[in-house]
Structure 1
Amino acid sequence: MIPMSTEPDSAAEGIDWRSESSNVEMSRRDQLSELYEQKIRVPAVVAWSDDRTRLGILILSVYLFMALVDVLGLWRDPSPNQADRFLRPFENMQYPLGTTNSGVDLLALIIDSTPFILLMVLAGGVWATTLAVAVGTLSGYKGGTVDTVITTISDFFMAIPGLPLVIVLAIALSPENPILLGVVLTINYWAGLGRSIRSQVLSIREASYVEASRTMGTSTPRIIIKDVLPNIMPYVMVNFVLAARYTIFAAVGLYFIGVLPYSGQNWGVTLSNAYYQGGLFSMQALHWLLVPIIAIVGLAFGLILLSQGMDRIFNPRVRTRLTGESESVTEDTDASTTEMI
């Protein structure tokens, strides 16, 4: 009787290895495909399906384009030219938005101010929203002593009048850096937003899926990242836009009244100069006043339109309906039912 060999077939083993490697490769490819589908394509389709979001993206793209033009030096500097004083918009196409009383090109002035404004707005929105999310989420989820301490600190900052505090800090620090200025303008804006986020987290932490994660021994940071934060993201994004808009209006107002230093060109500085040079009472200088106002309102309007589309992006029901997943699921269900019959 010939004994059977117990050694594995090397060819078959090689095929198994290649098959296993192929399966691993395919699984990684599927993971990347799913990540692209959920995080990039589906949000983009949902965002682009909303007219308000499209218009908001278009408006903000104009401001980003102006900032890029200024950074690359593709437009002339706003320098006085006494030969072209008080030109009205489109009177001379060399100065499409007109000039000031000293012959400064208003379009060049707006373009020159845009990078400063965008950095300031981004810094203020990120500072206020990030701190509010961290404070509100930790306070609402942990509870107990942590909640008491954080809530007390938030109440203290909420009790301080925001505008006087900002004015005092602006006078004391005289911030010329746009990032520092954005932080100063929203120094206590986070407190009220943090309390609102805390109240939402208090209800979310009692949800069944959060309780299930705790039962399975999932760590607190993972529960917050995977279960809590996705449910408050629409609210957070809307308030990020509101904080950015607040930063714009606060900066322009403080520049207008002369609290912030007149360093370089700025929309608030332009507005103040136009007002004190008779832009409100003279038709000849009215465009000098209107141009910075339109720039301010346009940026705020673009941010508001974009924020209105954020709920559609983060709301899973809306995403499912707009991307056609509901219809495909219905068709699959109908087809399987027909086959069974």
Structure 2
Amino acid sequence: MSATTETPHTSEAQGMAIKAKTQRQLVVRRFFRHRGAMVGMVLFALVFVLAFSSIGFGPLPGWWKHSYDVTGTVIAGGRPTLTVWPFSLGEHPFGQDNLGKDYFALVMRGAQISIIVAVMIGLVSTLIGTVIGALAGYFRGRVETLLMRFTDVMITIPTLVIAAVVGMIAGNLGPYFLAAMLGVITWTGVARLVRGEFLSLREKEFVEAARAVGTPAKRIIFKHILPNCLGVIIVSATLAISSGILLESGLSFLGFGVKFPDTSLGVLINEYRSAMTVRPWLFWWPGIFIIAIALSVNFIGDGLRDAFDPRQNRVRG
């Protein structure tokens, strides 16, 4: 008869795994009990599905019969045919623009580009900010001084000003390149948050123990410290996406963002801002979608922040 001996190391590893699993379950439960986050998720999902399924994306076809780049005859002054009761989309639910293009298809294309650009800005800025913040917070000394002084210089430059310069240079190269360049200049907030987390965690006992046994710095950063910063990083990424769509809309409104022949919600507002008094639907529809996307992402970020915060003992409902 053989007996199984459980070493202290194995017992400690199992205990950490159980604790991590319990913490994940607690975070998920807190998030799904947050009403604002649930409303934000539903709203964002509706906008996302409507935008990408209606007119299609890339090789995937959509269910809407009109295309955003096909002109036509302006019918009834281009007024919207959407009716709430009895519900009916009609031929052109959001109306038509000056060239007879279906405005519903145009707004859906604008929403697609705005969402893609915002998500890319959030991901790129979070990646860069995480790397810079982690290096500055862990290594300290000259590395921290160099990286944080560079961060301070970037912070002193107004974001809209430098984004406008980037937009003038990168706008004609397509929305994806524009989004990547905007992400390169909007990482400073994430870097400062991640640095603060690393400064706190690098002094913890588990990090000191890892150093004592000769664990390489790379492994300590990625296996020990970074997993404990995921909450801050995920919340920062969510809020960066919300800021990204507002930044892109603002730049496109000023003429420094997405360029013809493509479009975005900000471009549509810029093109038809003069029609607000005579044909207000050309201004309000893209504005409504900008507000809906920004608010829904903010609600999701608020729910994630409350879920990851260990000081929360209840979830606001």
Q: Structure 2 length as normaliser, TM-score?
A: 0.79
Is 1:127 matched with 2:124? yes
**Aligned residue in 2 for 1:88:** 80
1-side partners of 2:24 and 2:224: how far apart? Answer: 20
**Aligned residue in 2 for 1:73:** 61
How big is the shift at 1:217?
Answer: 3.1
**Aligned residue in 2 for 1:48:** 32
1-side partners of 2:21 and 2:81: how far apart? Answer: 47
Alignment of 1:97-136 (within 5 A): 97-136=94-133
Is 1:255 matched with 2:252? yes
Is 1:242 matched with 2:236? no
Q: Is the 8 A contact 2:51 2:111 kept in 1?
A: yes
Deviations 1:66-97 (A, max 9, x none): 34312232122123332423213525722223
Is 1:293 matched with 2:287? yes
Indicate which of 262, 267, 270 corresponds to 1:269. Answer: 267
How big is the shift at 1:176?
Answer: 4.1
Q: Is the 8 A contact 2:118 2:241 kept in 1?
A: yes
Q: Which letter does structure 1 place at the counterpart of 2:165?
A: V
Identity percentage over the alignment?
24
Is 1:183 matched with 2:163? no
Is 1:174 matched with 2:164? no
Larger Rg: 1
Higher relative contact order (CA 8 A, sep 6+): 2
Indicate which of 193, 198, 204 corresponds to 2:195. Answer: 198
Say if 1:213 and 1:263 are closer, same or farther in 2 by CA, change over 3 A. same
How big is the shift at 1:151?
Answer: 2.0
Q: Structure 1 length as normaliser, TM-score?
A: 0.74
Q: Is the 8 A contact 2:201 2:207 kept in 1?
A: yes
Alignment of 1:7-86 (within 5 A): 43-69=27-53, 70-71=56-57, 72-74=60-62, 75=64, 76-78=66-68, 79-84=70-75, 85-86=77-78
Deviates more, 1:150-159 or 1:130-139: 150-159
**Aligned residue in 1 for 2:8:** none
How big is the shift at 1:168?
Answer: 2.1
Q: Which letter does structure 2 place at the counterpart of 1:295?
A: F
Q: Which letter does structure 2 place at the counterpart of 1:90?
A: L
1-side partners of 2:45 and 2:20: how far apart? Answer: 24
How big is the shift at 1:256?
Answer: 1.5
2-side partners of 1:254 and 1:206: how far apart? Answer: 42
Q: Which letter does structure 2 place at the counterpart of 1:82?
A: T
Deviations 1:147-180 (A, max 9, x none): 1222232233233333222222222233443321
Q: Which blocks of at least 5 consecutive residues in structure 2 are unaligned?
A: 5-13
1-side partners of 2:114 and 2:98: how far apart? Answer: 24
**Aligned residue in 1 for 2:7:** none
Q: Which letter does structure 1 place at the counterpart of 2:198?
A: V
Q: Aligned Cα RMSD in Å?
A: 3.1
Deviates more, 1:307-316 or 1:236-245: 307-316
Higher-helix-fraction structure: 1
Aligned residues: 291
